[in-house]
Structure 1
């Protein structure tokens, strides 16, 4: 196995729940320290408590890195990186302890040093955990390789005695792999990866019995080509499933053996689809529509800037291309086919209208959206919405026929079984053709269901159900041919029964996917869609029923504690950056719109951080989502102010850096707005939305902090005019907060930014 690539310090993405849970105790301690360092330390007892926490953190880190170094000694491939990460963690832990001890002598010790040490400790500890996770991955892949070798031995045996011995060993190794992959599936955070792992495990589990009967049939009838095709197809599918496990565990890295499996032996049917398309590329109409609508929404901020026309045109062409699966289907009615084509043409006309408006804006050098442009955007989005509805109706009409098709196919399997037992080859061919027609019809329905599925897990389920049905469905007929050639063979009859059971399981999967897809479509009740970049709950919301406000329990708070702390650290850095403007002189800070909006955002981020700890004025999830809306709105305003500011900055590296960071803001703003607007049902979905909102707010806060830093550098170096602002107001306060909390009363409180919570009586 190739040595793993070293982890980049800037890319410490956590993909498993177990690592998050391991970080929670450390996050809580660091949160206590960082929060405490921002409060006035007025008693010796409080100072000594902070010092003890610092000592406890350092001691815990020391024990932690000792285990990490032990793991490194046993695994040479990660030894160097692990020792380096442990060294960084140990140094950060010692620095935190010293800073806490320094608080005993100087209560005004450098707050920035505490923040930097905390971020360094979090990063290094996370890096240690990710390196340790490489060892877990290695163990799983070794188990997978053992099963692969056992499969090779099973494929090469020539007598029953060797087969029984090899199959016994294979079974034991499969049990170990099942346990490891099950644990990994439950630990993965990414929905698509979990669904892919589930699909791979299901293939291995269902194929084991077919492997047994097809191998026994092949040993009993070695000269029978249909028996060998049955066996080879099962071997090929099981190897593909193990390659998929490798792909998921390595997060998108393809096993070098996978390409060989695709081009090597096995059933030709199993090689019809490419590995990349089967495993990771979501080539669905719903995905293409969402991407296109995101680009259209973005034009409200970018005003059809350079390259926008090409991106929009390409995205719409992709939609039209993927709708061909609907229009080319033999089972799509003429009416639906005509409606789809007409709606595609309508979307093209609406796009041309939007592009013409964009050209007009360029000619008059407009800097803000016009009514004409807004109408063009709404017209185009309405066209794509109608197209989506039509595609769903087309799919649901075909899915409505699914039950009768499945019953007819099930009856046909019984007929094929009887004809094979009678060795009637002519009738077997006749019924086999009709059975294959049923398979093709069900496959068409599967394809359309995948196209309209709106969640990653359902798309993956539909995709692998389609793949397995395409490969294993015809094998029922192949097994029947073997039985027709050897009608008295008990093992040939058993083999057909096992493949028929597999067929029944697969059509049951299709029915389940169909039911879930229909429920998704019906859950999105068509209403008068109002496309707004900033929906106002209670006034112009796009959902007919408001979300039920809920509070997070302690376990949920713990899960998002790390993200909340990281956002808090970024907001502390933002405060430090805005304080630089004050230190530079009152003339730069007074009425400075960049600083004021940055402080507003820092205050909002701090309130969201408090929510992750069960503190502050944000009590329910709805409070958090509404706060995130205002955060995105303020970021949008800051973006426009800084854009005006950038026009005055002379060309050079500083302006280039400013524009590079600034151009990232609209994307983050749009993504946060889409997440907040996305409706959820159920506690688990609501928590996932909370986690996403915190993550996206953190990302937006990070890029805003870089923008503000670069603005300060440019303002001081080039003496650039700073845009002036007015006192911030909050006209939407009445429907957001409880009656005793009015966010329009803002008081700036130093490191805490603007506070709307501590100055008003309850």
Structure 2
């Protein structure tokens, strides 16, 4: 075994690298700086310490440092001489500081004595800092000893010639690597530099991830040394571990990690397209007086063409849908046109032919066009993500199956497919990064993609080893370990990509893709192509599973509540009811097509099952979009006009695709009724009036939340009905603003009917409570409020029906759009007020004025809702803004900064 490593302290390097040294040095720095400070004390009068007390505190702290250093020196003979030499310096500086500070305390107005004491304080702090850094080197020596042991273990494992030696050395390696990991873990959290912390964490993760692979790869090589692929597997794992250990060694000794800064910048850089669009949005905004056409126009046009070139590459990719490609082209042309109009407006302003308001209007139009282009580019990225991350383990399973059968030719073919798939994963991950501005998320994606890029060839090598020795147990174990590692990295990459893509874009694109797959599945059913039916049905199940996983992961980010409960209820329905029913229907259809002679499958059952899948996906998406922070898309964006083909059954032998399109049933429906998107097309003045009405409704909603949400709805049907009515009223109000799950006026009518039904139930409950209430003013109030609910439910029902009738007759919204919208909002606001008053009166009537003569059980239970759980420890989240009280903020004194501020 090699000798121990000893790191010599460099007196010129006085950099404090750990928080332990910071925290130990901080009290002394505070005491010394308080003693020598010329600024008045911030403490209240009468509470400031005397100079003599501060002097004694400094002397005592110095003595404590020396006594602790003596203990450390006695426990570590290797550094005893250096520690004792540093202690002598501290003691000399402390004695000098004690003498001069006492003189200053006796005569605090003497400027000369103050200057002498400041010089002595600088020498004392510098010597104490050196002593603490030397003490910190003791921990460094322990880590370096552990590193040397692990390096020796790795070399012995590499040189092992048989299985017995390998197992013996690996057991010793296991003990030493645990010791090193513990030391590195403590060091990681003690380091001041954030980049060093990240690199140390990455090295520890590599060691943990590849240690098992080291054993299996080494076993496979020792057992089959004639196979070069086994050597490549072993060398890959060995090099990974060696580099990780070297990283820990470099960071521990304070040496720079090679290319660490460049890696950090490249990994966490904002996406190219996003950065280019952000910069373009900034530079188009300028003072009109500073516009120089000869200089600025070529620059802006060149930047825009560079952005459009990047957008064109994304649009021309294979996974980008044709309609998405057309939309990107349209938006690029619109941005070009908007830029020319803005430049012309700048020129007109320079000629005094336009105002600042006209220029600002063109700037706003320019930024709106770039925003629309961003939206289409993001959806094009989701096209790629949705297709590529659909069945990530299928190529791997095919490769492993071929290897287990010992078919080397098939292994090579599947290896090519697997490597193409891995390259596609990395490519799509980088494409997703190009349209993201989340620096931390981008770094995770690129690190995961880099791991997959490095691991992919080794997975293929493990499969080749297994193909040559398909009956070898060590080859099978090696393959399983590489398979597990690959799948873990792919899951990590998938989660990281999901983090940097917005869920509303993902759900919109997934819904469109599922609709495409459903149409292909039905068309394949008509053409009696069992294989294509199976493939497309598998794609539908895979995309639905992805939607379920992504939405479930998204809901875990929220505090449990009504919103998350509603979303998860839709997810559960899709996962536990709709998808099993769809799978059974497809299985029956495929079995019927595969029978000899073929039996006619029930196409209507398949179509109905497909409709339920589409409805389930749309319901999940609508539930997710109920989050007020997310924007509802227009009907044109979310594919309201898309169709599920329901082919005619007139032809029993399978019509052509053209005949399929001639006889279709449109789903979810043509716009026989005006959709919510028409509400967005109202004139600006009318929309502003609607917003005024909505503001009044929001105020009522706040009163509702304050009064109703404080009660637990378990055992209280009044609160349950009130919450349900409130949710429906919010949806109806959102409809008037062109958003929300209600799409047509017929949906509004159905919502009004649901409110009426809830109002009837609430009416009955309230009257039952009133019947148990003693004669009082509270009972009279409750009866009056119940009558209001009946009245306003009837008014809301009539308002929604009149609105639909007028629109159906006229075909345009301009006749009564504003009046009907404001009437709807007013009726909803009045009803919500009545519900709030009814809840208050019901509580008083059922708890304060109950008729004591009867022994009836209370109709509802009034219990306060439990407050939401809060974490005991607040975790710092860099991407979230946190409100911090000023009183809670403490300024950390950086010791080296304080030293630099001293003056001789």
TM-score when scaled to structure 1? 0.52
Say whether the 8 Å CA contact 2:104–2:113 is kept in structure 1.
no
Using the alignment, how far apart are the partners of 1:343 and 1:327 within structure 2? 12
Partner of 1:434: 417
Pick one of 462, 467, 470 that aligns with 2:450: 467
Using the alignment, how far apart are the partners of 1:372 and 1:117 within structure 2? 67
Say whether the 8 Å CA contact 1:354–1:373 is kept in structure 2.
yes
Say whether the 8 Å CA contact 2:462–2:482 is kept in structure 1.
yes
* Residues 114-125 of structure 1 aligned to structure 2 (within 5 Å): 125=128
Give the 3 Å change call, closer, same or farther, for CA 92–154 of structure 1 in structure 2.
same
Deviation at 1:506, TM superposition (A): 0.9
Pick one of 383, 388, 399 that aligns with 1:416: 399
Partner of 1:284: 269
Cα shift readout 1:62-96 (whole Å, capped 9, x = no counterpart)? 43256558868969899879967984796378537
Give the 3 Å change call, closer, same or farther, for CA 211–141 of structure 1 in structure 2.
same
Using the alignment, how far apart are the partners of 1:451 and 1:481 within structure 2? 35
* Residues 459-538 of structure 1 aligned to structure 2 (within 5 Å): 459-518=442-501
Using the alignment, how far apart are the partners of 2:119 and 2:313 within structure 1? 54
* Residues 653-668 of structure 1 aligned to structure 2 (within 5 Å): none
Pick one of 196, 203, 223 that aligns with 2:226: 223
Using the alignment, how far apart are the partners of 2:286 and 2:238 within structure 1? 53
Partner of 2:21: 19
Using the alignment, how far apart are the partners of 2:161 and 2:410 within structure 1? 34
Partner of 1:238: 241
Pick one of 404, 417, 420 that aligns with 2:390: 404
Match of 2:391, SS? Answer: helix
Pick one of 101, 113, 118 that aligns with 1:99: 101
Match of 2:499, SS? Answer: helix
Say whether the 8 Å CA contact 1:399–1:445 is kept in structure 2.
yes
Say whether the 8 Å CA contact 1:446–1:465 is kept in structure 2.
no
Deviation at 1:16, TM superposition (A): 3.5
Give the 3 Å change call, closer, same or farther, for CA 402–40 of structure 1 in structure 2.
closer
* Residues 279-678 of structure 1 aligned to structure 2 (within 5 Å): 281-282=266-267, 284-286=269-271, 331=319, 392-401=378-387, 403-406=389-392, 409=393, 411-451=394-434, 457-518=440-501
Deviation at 1:221, TM superposition (A): 1.4
Gaps of 5+ in 2: 347-355, 506-553, 555-627, 632-873
Using the alignment, how far apart are the partners of 1:444 and 1:371 within structure 2? 44
Partner of 1:63: 64
Partner of 2:150: 147
Say whether the 8 Å CA contact 1:336–1:394 is kept in structure 2.
yes
Deviation at 1:223, TM superposition (A): 1.0
Cα shift readout 1:165-203 (whole Å, capped 9, x = no counterpart)? 221221121111111122222233444443332222222
Say whether the 8 Å CA contact 2:103–2:113 is kept in structure 1.
no
Deviation at 1:208, TM superposition (A): 1.2
- Between 50-59 and 16-25, the greater mean CA deviation after superposition: 16-25
- Between 23-32 and 206-215, the greater mean CA deviation after superposition: 23-32
Pick one of 17, 37, 40 that aligns with 1:38: 40
Deviation at 1:438, TM superposition (A): 2.1
Using the alignment, how far apart are the partners of 1:287 and 1:513 within structure 2? 18
Give the 3 Å change call, closer, same or farther, for CA 59–476 of structure 1 in structure 2.
same
The RMSD of aligned alpha carbons is 6.2
Say whether the 8 Å CA contact 2:270–2:439 is kept in structure 1.
no
Gaps of 5+ in 1: 256-273, 359-369, 528-680, 710-762
Give the 3 Å change call, closer, same or farther, for CA 426–481 of structure 1 in structure 2.
same
Work out whether 1:185 is the aligned partner of 2:171. no
Partner of 1:743: none
Cα shift readout 1:105-124 (whole Å, capped 9, x = no counterpart)? 44687897577776776666
Give the 3 Å change call, closer, same or farther, for CA 324–40 of structure 1 in structure 2.
closer
Say whether the 8 Å CA contact 2:466–2:479 is kept in structure 1.
yes
Say whether the 8 Å CA contact 2:466–2:472 is kept in structure 1.
yes
Give the 3 Å change call, closer, same or farther, for CA 461–520 of structure 1 in structure 2.
farther
Say whether the 8 Å CA contact 1:48–1:104 is kept in structure 2.
no
- Between 345-354 and 380-389, the greater mean CA deviation after superposition: 345-354
Say whether the 8 Å CA contact 1:332–1:398 is kept in structure 2.
yes
Give the 3 Å change call, closer, same or farther, for CA 49–684 of structure 1 in structure 2.
farther
Say whether the 8 Å CA contact 1:29–1:57 is kept in structure 2.
yes
Say whether the 8 Å CA contact 1:422–1:487 is kept in structure 2.
yes
Say whether the 8 Å CA contact 1:331–1:398 is kept in structure 2.
yes
- Between 72-81 and 17-26, the greater mean CA deviation after superposition: 72-81
Cα shift readout 1:223-274 (whole Å, capped 9, x = no counterpart)? 122222221221122223233334544566147xxxxxxxxxxxxxxxxxx8
Say whether the 8 Å CA contact 2:402–2:410 is kept in structure 1.
yes
Say whether the 8 Å CA contact 1:454–1:520 is kept in structure 2.
no
Match of 1:223, SS? Answer: coil
Deviation at 1:481, TM superposition (A): 1.8
Say whether the 8 Å CA contact 1:284–1:322 is kept in structure 2.
no
Partner of 1:53: 54
Give the 3 Å change call, closer, same or farther, for CA 69–152 of structure 1 in structure 2.
same
Give the 3 Å change call, closer, same or farther, for CA 490–48 of structure 1 in structure 2.
closer
Question: Which of the two has higher C-alpha Rg?
Answer: 2
* Residues 717-732 of structure 1 aligned to structure 2 (within 5 Å): none
Using the alignment, how far apart are the partners of 1:96 and 1:277 within structure 2? 48
- Between 683-692 and 206-215, the greater mean CA deviation after superposition: 683-692
Using the alignment, how far apart are the partners of 2:233 and 2:278 within structure 1? 46
Give the 3 Å change call, closer, same or farther, for CA 465–120 of structure 1 in structure 2.
farther
Using the alignment, how far apart are the partners of 1:516 and 1:328 within structure 2? 25
Using the alignment, how far apart are the partners of 2:158 and 2:13 within structure 1? 42
Give the 3 Å change call, closer, same or farther, for CA 212–330 of structure 1 in structure 2.
farther
Say whether the 8 Å CA contact 2:207–2:241 is kept in structure 1.
yes
Give the 3 Å change call, closer, same or farther, for CA 53–200 of structure 1 in structure 2.
same
Give the 3 Å change call, closer, same or farther, for CA 352–222 of structure 1 in structure 2.
farther
Say whether the 8 Å CA contact 1:421–1:487 is kept in structure 2.
yes
Using the alignment, how far apart are the partners of 2:265 and 2:157 within structure 1? 30
Say whether the 8 Å CA contact 1:195–1:460 is kept in structure 2.
no
Using the alignment, how far apart are the partners of 1:350 and 1:50 within structure 2? 71
Partner of 1:202: 205
Deviation at 1:128, TM superposition (A): 4.4
Say whether the 8 Å CA contact 2:466–2:476 is kept in structure 1.
yes
Pick one of 147, 156, 159 that aligns with 1:156: 159
Say whether the 8 Å CA contact 1:58–1:90 is kept in structure 2.
no
Work out whether 1:171 is the aligned partner of 2:181. no
Deviation at 1:471, TM superposition (A): 1.9
Match of 2:501, SS? Answer: helix
- Between 391-400 and 204-213, the greater mean CA deviation after superposition: 391-400
Say whether the 8 Å CA contact 2:69–2:87 is kept in structure 1.
no
Give the 3 Å change call, closer, same or farther, for CA 100–284 of structure 1 in structure 2.
same
Using the alignment, how far apart are the partners of 2:153 and 2:469 within structure 1? 29
Match of 1:38, SS? Answer: coil
Give the 3 Å change call, closer, same or farther, for CA 132–157 of structure 1 in structure 2.
same
